[in-house]
Structure 1
Amino acid sequence: MVGNLLGLAALALGWRRSVWSWPVQLLSGVVLIGAYLSAHLTGLIGKQGIVIVAAVWGWTQWQRGRRATGEIEVRFATARERVVLVGATALATVALAGLFIAVPELSWSPWADAYIFTGTLAAMYAQARGWVEFWFAWIAVDLVGVPLAFTSGYTFSGVTYAIYFVLVLLGLQAWWTRTRTPRAVNPAVPQGVSA
């Protein structure tokens, strides 16, 4: 319960483009790994491991961006960035599922676990880059993660992830709107500097 509530707080902070989203995500990941270890939910454990690693990297990215422009800038990924993100996610999912199938003790649900693991990595990478597409990646992960949590007996996690899903839709709207709002010029930041 604590890990999931921290995850909700991290999502709310990310929605507001707060740098504090990252350390809260890190703490949530640590707590949830402890919970998922007892059930041997490899994909969900891997997902939280990715959250921890990505939280450290994302925190540094957002701090650097904020120093450069005075705020966390968000934008849509370019067509090339989208193709690379989707392609890398698909290839990584197939490769990881192959590993889980070859070594069955790593996962009882190889495709779902691989999908959650790599989808989470894609989402965290896109968030660190300030891409609106990170919300789409979370939607894709939740479409598998929510049913998996319920079928694995983690009802509270399933309910929390369902709430995440609604908040992700609202976050998507907020970031999408932000990309359409002209950014005020910060006189303390030299022009031409970007995140």
Structure 2
Amino acid sequence: MNAGFTALGEHILWTDLVGNIASLAVVWLAMRKTLWTWPVQLVGALLLLAASLDAHVPGNALKQALFCGLACYGWFSWTRGTRDQHALLVRPGTTRERLFLLAATVVGTVGVAELFSHLTWLHIAWSPWVNAYIFVGSAAATFAQSRALVDFWIIWMLVDLAGVPLALKSGLYVSGAVYGVFFVLVLLGFTRWRREYRERQTASPITAAAVIADR
């Protein structure tokens, strides 16, 4: 897991580099709503899991492990959402869904942070609260993504704000740089999905309501 090369005096892990390239590809694929989003995310998660274990960043490591399961769920969900050759229909979350995501993020962050604080053998590289927030927030974002909710882009923006300093503090320099690129891509993705939803709603309000009811 420690295999890599030296650049500008810093040791760059191959798992960190290739895994983040896959992660960037996931954002690009998600903007286009292609099913390739999920297998690519699975590969990237496995590579970043190895990088995080080497850097003693349990929040990121558990996040990537969780991503493996969520990638399978997202793949199934998007496949169902595109049945009968229909395009995947994106939508904003309902009030209930947003409250659930917010509550799950808050409660989950507190619980995981407490867990990290007591598991000293994990050798956490930085604040257990930041690790916990990234873990839980990323899980919430990926779940919202699997439901084709426009809100998932916003959750990712908030995770990125914590991800940059954590990655740099942990020596994952590629991850730190990629988090910054992520932020820009996430803004673009959010704009694209929101515009698509508004255009569809303007063209057919009944269809938009039917999609929410079906979920």
- TM-score, normalising length: structure 1: 0.91
**Residues 122, 137 of structure 1: 8 Å contact kept:** yes
Task: Pick the aligned partner of 2:173 from 129, 139, 155.
Answer: 155
Counterparts of 1:112 and 1:55, CA distance in 2: 23
Task: Pick the aligned partner of 2:48 from 32, 38, 41.
Answer: 32
Corresponding position of 1:129: 147
- Structure 1: which 5+ residue stretches go unaligned? 186-191
Counterparts of 2:121 and 2:166, CA distance in 1: 18
Counterparts of 2:91 and 2:53, CA distance in 1: 36
Corresponding position of 1:89: 105
**Residues 50, 120 of structure 1: 8 Å contact kept:** no
After TM superposition, give the deviation of residue 105 of structure 1 in Å.
2.2
Counterparts of 1:50 and 1:70, CA distance in 2: 29
State the one-letter code of the partner of 1:73: L
**Residues 85, 122 of structure 1: 8 Å contact kept:** yes
Corresponding position of 1:56: 72
Counterparts of 1:182 and 1:101, CA distance in 2: 47
RMSD (Å) for aligned C-alpha atoms: 1.7
State the one-letter code of the partner of 1:83: L
Task: Pick the aligned partner of 1:8 from 9, 24, 28.
Answer: 24
Corresponding position of 2:37: 21
Counterparts of 1:61 and 1:38, CA distance in 2: 32
State the one-letter code of the partner of 2:35: V
After TM superposition, give the deviation of residue 40 of structure 1 in Å.
1.1
Corresponding position of 1:188: none
**Residues 13, 20 of structure 1: 8 Å contact kept:** yes
After TM superposition, give the deviation of residue 35 of structure 1 in Å.
1.4
Counterparts of 1:68 and 1:124, CA distance in 2: 24
Counterparts of 1:13 and 1:67, CA distance in 2: 19
Instruction: Indicate the larger mover: 47-56 or 21-30.
Output: 47-56
Corresponding position of 1:47: 63
Counterparts of 2:88 and 2:182, CA distance in 1: 22
State the one-letter code of the partner of 1:57: Y
Counterparts of 2:55 and 2:182, CA distance in 1: 22
- TM-score, normalising length: structure 2: 0.83
Find the residue that maps to 1:181 and give its secondary structure.
helix
Deviations 1:114-154 (A, max 9, x none): 10110011001000001011001101111101111111111
After TM superposition, give the deviation of residue 182 of structure 1 in Å.
2.1
**Residues 149, 158 of structure 1: 8 Å contact kept:** yes
- Structure 2: which 5+ residue stretches go unaligned? 1-16, 205-209
**Residues 63, 135 of structure 2: 8 Å contact kept:** yes
Counterparts of 2:196 and 2:96, CA distance in 1: 22
